[in-house]
Amino acid sequence: MQQSAWGWLIITYLFLAGAGSGAFIAAVACDLLAPDWSKALARAGSLVAGPLVIIGTLCLVFDLEAGFWQPWRQFYMIGNLRSMISWGVIILSIFIPLALLYAAALNEITFVGKLAQKYVTAIEIIGSLFAIATATYTGVLIAVVNGVPFWNTPLMPVLFLASAISTGLAAAMIVAAIIDVKTIKTLSNFALGHVIFLSVEGLVLMLFVFMSLTRSTEAALSASGLISGTLSPYFWGLVVILGLVVPFILSVFEFLEYGKMPKSLVVGADLLVLMGGMSLRALIIFSGTPPQII
Amino acid sequence: MPRYGIAIDSTKCIGCHSCRVACQNQNELHFDETFNWIKSKDRGQYPSYGKEFIPLQCNHCENAPCQRVCPTGATYTSKEGVVLVNPKTCVGCKYCMEACPYKMRIIDHRRGIVEKCRLCIELVREGGTPACVTTCPTQVRIFGDLDDPNSAISRFIAQTGAQPLRPDLGTVPKIFYKRS
Amino acid sequence: MDNSGITRRKFIIGSAIGGASLVASNYLNLESWATTEESTQDLKVTPTLCDGCGNWCAIKVYTRGKRIWKAEGIPIAGNNLGRICAKGHGLLHEVYNKDRIKSPLKRTGPNKFEPISWEQAYREIGQRVQEIKKEHGPESFFWLQFPEGNAGLCSRFMNALGSPNVFSHATTCFLPRNIGWWLTIGSAKPEHDLEHTRFAIFLGRNIAAGLRLRALSDLSKAKDRGARFVVVDPRFSELASFAHQYVQIRPGTDLALMLAIANTLIAEKLYQKDFVDKYSQGFDELAQKVKGYTTEWAEQKTGIPRGVIGKLAHDLAESAPQAFIHRGYHGALGTQYKNSLQLVRAVACVNGLLGNFNQRGGMFFHPEVKLGRLDPQKFPKTPELGDSMVDGSGASDRYPITPVGLGLSQAIPELALEGKLKAGFVYHNNPLRTCPNPARVIEGYRKLDLLVSFDYILSETASLAHYILPESYYLERDDVVHTNHCFNSKQVAIRQAVIEPLYDTKPMVVILIELAKSLGIGNYFNFTLEEYNQAALAPFGITLERLKQEGVIDLGGKWEPGPPQFKTPSGKFEFVSSTLQDLNLPAVPEWEEPLVVPDQSDIHSFRLIHGKQAHHTHAKTINQEYLKEISLLNDMTRVWIHPERAKALGIKDGDCMTISNSVGKGRARALVTDGIHRDCVFLPSSYGVYSRNLRTAFGFGISYNDFLPTYFDPVLGHCMSNEIIVRVEKTPA
Ligand SMILES: Nc1nc2c(c(=O)[nH]1)N[C@H]1C(S)=C(S)[C@@H](COP(=O)(O)OP(=O)(O)OC[C@H]3O[C@@H](n4cnc5c(=O)[nH]c(N)nc54)[C@H](O)[C@@H]3O)O[C@H]1N2
Ligand SMILES: Nc1nc2c(c(=O)[nH]1)N[C@H]1C(S)=C(S)[C@@H](COP(=O)(O)OP(=O)(O)OC[C@H]3O[C@@H](n4cnc5c(=O)[nH]c(N)nc54)[C@H](O)[C@@H]3O)O[C@H]1N2
Ligand code: SF4
Ligand code: SF4
Ligand code: SF4
Ligand code: SF4
Ligand code: SF4
Ligand SMILES: [Mo]
């Protein structure tokens, strides 16, 4: 009896698809809500969204077996509209071109970019919908799995969406800092974003974990594995403290100190958010326990 | 059309693993691949100590989560109610393995596809009985048509009140267990 | 079929995306796994006999082209009724094991082998044999085997050479069981009408792992009819899972239990008076002898509450004569304790008190098939050789009732070291692994001037031989007509080649015939296997072709209940054994202590007991990867230990333990379980391969033989394989 069929490739996929779609949402938010001083971030977000999702999708494809060696089999993958993978394939194949188009538009890449600029608002609206769909679907993908009661909760898509947005924002901020170091100062405006989304994510995470303790025996087993079992050092250390609390505190200071924080700490907080997001996915996958059947 | 299932009397299982190897040969599996498992469970302390062997295999669920999540439709239910995988269309995404609450699916890395108990349907269609059923020295398994009230399996289930494993999971299995 | 809908939709969407041209329509053909390329090749079914263990189950082997696919049991075969065990299935793959010997080999150095031709092998062996015979006489030769159907021909070979020294596995397996029954009822292996029994006790006999498929099938039917079964064992065996009651006994004390049950049956007049009066001899002596063996006394010895003992006696009596205590095999009644012979006698006597012989649901003697023989012209008598062996088997001053032809194989190394044995032939047996005290065995076998092994892989023993003549694997060879699978009717069966030999190997009978020629005894082997088999079948008017087609033929003559007949000296069931009386040995069962007991004051001191697992035979199947995988997957090499004893030693489930005594030392992980008696640890007996040439299993697990001193039971000379005290401790990190 195989215990866990999915491993690091799927975890990476779940993480990158989330971070990519989150970055898209962050970019759109910057472009629409705070056009002037946040241009750098919008551009960075749009640039990073597509590639992250593409790399994530490649991970998914690498994880396929027959579908990898005989790629034409992948066409079958939209064959069952009751399957979240079929939906995922459809969503991704629409979102990825949109994300690339958006990057081209905001960064004026080639004539395509120029052309796309005309429809940028439409791209932003439709793209955001598909970005939300991508982030949410990665959660739904595992939430519908009866085989693992711990995952089987409507909170899962919410948690994945929250985590997608905070990691997406972090990814965008890092890229913005790389493209233009000076933006670091203006980036502090977005620390508030981190403060908000990390709080939301933390809240949902705690809800998810603690409610699991009473949902079913198996969910409780998984949850207590995270809280106090063998996985607990990783859960508390990587996800909660380094991935949520520390970046949260740093972000609060960053917001209050406005631009006076050392650059390394600003980027450091973002890296921690990314690390936390990845660890969260990994721990959720690894702590999944099948029902006790005998 | 018959609706096939298996009734298992675990009080007769001696954990000899004959069913495992019979199945491996019937289905040409490698030594480390299997479609059935023998798990054991201890209870109590001597003098009331006991140990039960429980043969496990795919339950051929009527409401099969593995089939529901399969993006390609490679997992399907045959006309006899047997849940099967079409090796020509499976992509090896392993979503079904995650979805099966009984963890009764395995990946065949050589062919890159997911596999599971086939209820020996090709043998059955030729009028035979599944390999794990015929080889069992203590006749733990009873194979037959669940829709025929006079079949050995239906009578066994009616007489003993045999139940599927974890019926509360809602998958409606077609493997029934008498466990005490 | 709703999936055709899915298929069509998938097809449409697939083509819409534009990849459809790549999708050949056959990819959408559901159920196409049923027709792989090979399956289109010609399918053939060949009946034959499995060689996985001494049960010789009748099987039908399916081949596709030249490749073996699967096997099914032959339903009419008395011994297996159409069933096959895990080994029977798994060993089909063994033909393709990469470790197989591919031609005759000559050993040129330690673990160095050179392929040679059959002619060269025969010639060189012939020369050596002549030299040794001249110098040391033919009595310096021995043959050791796990007797196959051709065992008679092997003995003939040795006798023709002039040596009576034909050894078997008996001394490590069943010797007291056979002798005890033979003394009491005149037959070594009575059968049980399990299917119709109402109550049965399995005492140190675990048919659920030391498999007998027929018995298991009958047991299952009897259970359906409401029969009850009790397992008496120091550990919760696989059969205990099936049975209704499990009684834990202190190892080595079953004799006390039997004596107390006999006492209860007699004292409370619960025995079958009719049977005792008509068919037995010595009842009064027995009654007198067992008087003192109360249930209170037995509770002290066995650790079983007196109430439970009394209840067992009553349960037996209530169902008698449709009740029995199993005749035993290796466990407890076999070659395990100093008191095993007395125990077998006691078990037989209790069965006598139940009057179950030749009764429905009791015990019976299976119908015997008398095979035909070649005419004496072609099959001259071999020289008369006296009636004892070099190890003292059959000798009035050593082991007078140990039969010649079974022998005490653990004596071979000793005799080689003393220079009494100079050359040996080892066939279908692996003394370096399955005899006690391997270091001593190696030392002894190294001393031999000539060691010839007939094996299909380089087992521990073959690896030490001067010459290895590879027998074709059982799926590649024709063998002699068998009758071993008979149960309650007369049957003949045959093992035959399912595929052509993959390598330069030969069936044993062919090797014997050819080797005989170069040893100058060709006149005794002046026939072919075909002729030999045709002669065997002649009395029944069955042709060899028909037998090869059907695999098993039932000749009728089914056993029916009736008045029993005993082939003892007195012609009766012997509560007092006249043979033992003549030899001045205890002739009525009486209590005898086991040879050794663990030191109660030492928390490290345990008796080491062992037992079979259903998916392995002795030590020969662990090199088969399908069977090894089962052990790995279920973590089955662990040594069982009682929770309280483990706790006192700081051992937790899965911890590594060091086991040692004066003979050997080894490591194994712990299985902490309530299913074992406090006094002992239990080691599954299939492991501990140390031949480097068995690459799948080398170094896997340990064996009880690693700790077993070279003993000789005083009466029969068997190896007393559970008389082992070991020190158990947690392996320091
Ligand atoms: N370690 C250990 N020792 C034991 C036992 C145990 O369980 N474990 N059990 C005891 C008992 S009850 C018994 S009966 C004896 C059995 O003692 P053995 O007969 O020595 O036991 P096996 O392990 O069956 O070894 C059989 C040998 O025959 C070889 N062989 C297998 N197939 C063929 C074939 O087709 N042709 C030829 N020529 N050779 C073949 C194998 O390679 C192996 O070397 O062992 C006793 N000693
Ligand atoms: N799968 C398989 N089947 C086989 C074989 C095989 O190797 N593998 N070998 C065949 C051969 S050659 C043989 S001899 C038979 C052996 O068949 P069995 O004699 O049934 O086999 P064992 O496992 O040696 O011993 C049976 C039981 O005796 C118990 N026992 C040990 N000491 C005592 C004691 O003091 N008192 C009591 N009451 N019980 C005790 C052991 O715990 C074990 O459960 O199996 C035959 N069938
Ligand atoms: S047991 Fe698992 S694999 Fe079998 S039908 Fe049910 S869900 Fe599918
Ligand atoms: S691995 Fe194959 S059978 Fe399983 S869900 Fe994926 S495509 Fe379907
Ligand atoms: S029914 Fe057939 S495929 Fe399924 S476990 Fe039994 S032997 Fe294997
Ligand atoms: S063959 Fe029968 S007794 Fe043996 S493990 Fe399988 S179900 Fe149990
Ligand atoms: S019991 Fe198993 S190994 Fe022994 S002869 Fe029968 S099928 Fe072969
Ligand atoms: Mo044996």
pLDDT digits (tens, 9 = 90+) for B22-68: 999 999 999 999 999 999 999 999 899 999 999 999 999 999 999 99
Question: Between chains, do B91 and A64 touch, taking CB under 8 Å as contact?
Answer: yes
State the average pLDDT over residues B106-134. Answer: 96
Tokens linked to A177: 């800092």
- Residues of chain B contacting C246 with CB distance shorter than 8 Å: 47, 49-50
> Under CATH, which number does the domain C605-730 receive?
2.40.40.20
Query: First and final CA of chain B: distance in angstroms?
Result: 32
Q: Are the CB atoms for C479 and C493 separated by under 8 Å? A: no
Are C17 and A75 an interchain contact pair (Cβ–Cβ within 8 Å)?
yes
Nearest of B55, B116, B138, B140 to residue A294 by alpha carbon: B55
Residues of chain C whose beta carbon is less than 8 angstroms from a beta carbon of chain A are: 6, 9-10, 13-14, 17, 19-20, 22-23, 27
pLDDT at B132: 98
Cβ pair C172, C304 in contact under 8 A:
no
Distance B158 CA to ligand 8 centre (A): 42
C contact chains, 3+ CB pairs < 8 A:
A, B
* Residue C465 and residue C448 in contact, taking contact as beta carbons nearer than 8 Å: no
Q: Identify all chain B residues contacting A66, using CB atoms and an 8 Å cutoff.
A: 87, 90-92, 111-113
Query: CATH 2.20.25.90: which residues of chain C?
Result: 8-96
Cα dihedral angle (A270, A272, A276, A282), rounded to 10 degrees?
110
Classify residue C710 as exposed, middle or buried by CB count within 10 Å of its CB (0-12, 13-18, 19+): middle
Which CATH superfamily groups domain A8-286? Formate dehydrogenase/DMSO reductase domain (1.20.1630.10)
| Ligand 7 midpoint to CA C493 (Å) | 15
Instruction: Tell me the chain C residues in contact with residue B88 when contact means C-beta distances shorter than 8 Å.
Output: 26-29, 32
- C-beta C428 within 6 A of ligand 1: yes
Q: Identify the CATH homologous superfamily for domain C8-96.
A: ADC-like domains (2.20.25.90)
Nearest to B46 among C29, C71, C248 (CB): C248
Q: B167 C-alpha to center of ligand 3: Å?
A: 13
Is-contact B101 A293, C-beta < 8 A? yes
Distances (CA, A) of C23 to A24, A74, B89, C9: 35, 11, 10, 14
What are the residue ranges of CATH 2.40.40.20 in chain C?
605-730
Three-state SS string across chain A, please? CCCCCCCHHHHHHHHHHHHHHHHHHHHHHHHHHCCCCCHHHHHHHHHHHHHHHHHHHHHHHHHCCHHHHCHHHHHHHHCCCCCHHHHHHHHHHHHHHHHHHHHHHHCCCHHHHHHHHCCHHHHHHHHHHHHHHHHHHHHHHHHCCCCCCCCCCCHHHHHHHHHHHHHHHHHHHHHHHHHCCCHHHHHHHHHHHHHHHHHHHHHHHHHHHHHHHHHCHHHHHHHHHHHCCCCHHHHHHHHHHHHHHHHHHHHHHHHHHCCCCCHHHHHHHHHHHHHHHHHHHHHHHHCCCCCCCC
pTM exceeds 0.90: yes
Name the residue facing C89 among B22, B47, B79 (closest C-beta): B22
Q: Which atom of ligand 4 is nearest to the CA of B99?
A: 5
Ligand approaching nearest to the C-alpha of B22: 5
Task: Identify the residue whose C-alpha is closest to ligand 6 atom 3.
Answer: B13
C611, C239 Cβ separation under 8 angstroms = no
pLDDT at residue number C35: 45
Cβ of B119 closer than 6 Å to ligand 5, yes or no, is yes
DSSP annotation of C291 reads T
Chain A / chain B CB contacts < 8 angstroms:
130
How many beta carbons lie within 10 A of that of residue A229, not counting itself? 14
How many helices and strands (H and E) does chain B possess? 6, 9
Of C9, C20, C27, Cβ closest to residue A79: C9
What is the best residue among B9, B19, B34 to mutate for testing ligand 6's pocket, by most ligand atoms within 8 Å of CB? B19
Atom number, ligand 3, closest to the C-alpha of residue B67: 8
φ, ψ of residue C467 to 5 degrees: the values are: -130, 140
What is the C-alpha to C-alpha distance for residues C88 and C212, in angstroms, rounded to an integer? 12
Testing ligand 1's pocket by substitution, the residue of C455, C472, C622 carrying the most ligand atoms inside 8 A of its CB is C455
When scoring C216, C613, C640 by the number of chain B Cβ atoms within 10 A, the one with the most, hence best to mutate, is C216
* Percent of chain B scoring above 70 in pLDDT: 100
CA separation for the pair B41, B78 (Å, rounded): 33
What distance in Å separates the CA atoms of residue C444 and residue C457, rounded to the nearest whole number? 22
Q: What is the mean pLDDT of each run of 10 residues along chain A (294 residues)?
A: 78 97 94 78 93 97 96 95 96 97 91 88 96 96 93 95 95 87 70 90 95 92 94 96 95 82 85 97 94 92
**By alpha-carbon position, which residue is closest to atom 7 of ligand 3?**
B100
C85–chain B nearest CA distance, Å: 5
Q: Which amino acid is at C234?
A: P
CATH number of C101-168+407-469: 3.40.50.740
d(CA C269, CA C683): 41
Take atom 8 of ligand 4 and give the residue whose Cα is closest. Answer: B70
What's the mean per-residue pLDDT of chain B? Answer: 97
Which residue ranges of chain C lie beneath pLDDT 70? 1-40
Measured from the alpha carbon of residue A147, the closest ligand is 3
CB distance from B12 to chain C under 8 Å? yes
Residues with CB under 6 A from ligand 4: B 70-72, 74-75, 85, 90-96, 113-114
Q: How far is CA A293 from CA B164, C187, C324, in A?
A: 10, 49, 39
Interchain contact, C3 vs B31, CB within 8 Å: no
Query: Considering only CA atoms, which of C94, C120, C95 is closest in space to residue C467?
Result: C120
What is the CATH number assigned to the segment(s) B4-178?
A: 3.30.70.20
The C-alpha atoms of residue C145 and residue C424 are separated, in whole angstroms, by 11
Architecture of the domain delimited by C176-365? 3-Layer(aba) Sandwich (3.40)
Nearest CA to ligand 1 atom 13: C173
Query: Is C304 touching ligand 2 by the criterion CB < 6 Å?
Result: no
Atom of ligand 4 nearest to the CA of A83: 5
Beta-carbon count within 10 A of A257 CB: 12
User: What is the average pLDDT across B155-168?
Assistant: 97
B135 chain-C contacts, CB cut-off 8 A? 72-73, 83-85, 89
Taking an 8 Å cut-off on Cβ atoms, the answer to whether B18 and C88 are in contact is: yes
Percentage of residues in chain B with pLDDT exceeding 90?
Answer: 97
Question: Which of B40, B76, B93 should be substituted to probe chain A, the one whose Cβ sees the most A Cβ atoms within 10 Å?
Answer: B93
Amino acid at A48: V
How far off is chain B from C19, nearest CA to CA, in Å?
Answer: 14
In this predicted structure, what is the pLDDT of residue A3? 59
**What are the pocket residues of ligand 3 if the criterion is a CB atom closer than 6 Å to any ligand atom?**
B 58-61, 64-66, 83, 100, 102, 104-105, 116, 171
Three-class DSSP category at C482: strand
- CATH 3.40.228.10 domain range(s) in chain C: 176-365
The pLDDT value recorded for residue C31 is 44
pLDDT tier at B70 (50, 70, 90 boundaries)?
A: very high
Is the C-beta atom of C50 inside 6 A of ligand 1?
Answer: no
Chain B residue with minimum CA distance to A145? B99
Residue C541: which residues within 8 A CB-CB, separation 6 or more? none
- Nearest CA of chain C to the CA of B151: how many Å? 17
Interface contact flag, A76 C17, Cβ < 8 Å: no
- Nearest by CB to residue A79, choosing from C6, C19, C22, is C6
Over the stretch A160-214, which tens digit does the pLDDT of each residue have? 999 999 999 999 989 988 887 777 666 677 788 889 999 999 999 999 999 999 9
What was the pLDDT predicted at B138?
98
CB distance C14–A80 less than 8 Å?
no
- Give me the pLDDT at residue A114, please: 87
Q: Do A79 and C23 touch (CB under 8 A)?
A: no
User: Nearest C-alpha of chain B: how many angstroms from C133?
Assistant: 48
Q: Tell me the nearest-neighbour CA distance from A2 into chain C, angstroms.
A: 12
On chain B, the residues whose CB falls within 8 A of the CB of C61 are none
